[in-house]
Amino acid sequence: MKTLKLTENELVTIKTALFSHMQLICKDIEQAKRECKNTSFQEQILKEVQQAFKALEFVE
C-alpha cells in the first residue's frame, strides 16, 4: 500500500466528486426501484463509494 500526500484542495475535490457520485447512484437506485428493477449492483457500488468517502476521513 502506498501513502499519498494530498493538499487540502485536492482532498476537498476528491470528497466532492465522491459525494456527487453517491448522490447520482442514489438517484439511479430510486429510479430503478420505481421501475421495479434490480438495484443490487447500484447498492454494491454505493457501499464501495461510501467506504472510500469514509476512508478519506483519515487522510492527513
Could you report the per-residue pLDDT of 19-44, keeping only the tens digit for each? 999 999 999 999 999 999 999 999 99
pLDDT at position 13, please? 95
Q: In the structure, what pLDDT confidence band is assigned to residue 2 with cuts at 50, 70 and 90?
A: confident
pLDDT in tens, 7-16: 999 999 999 9
Task: Give start and end residues of each alpha helix (H) in 1-60.
Answer: 8-34, 40-55
Task: Kindly report the number of other CB atoms within 10 A of residue 25's CB atom.
Answer: 19
pLDDT at 60 over 70: no
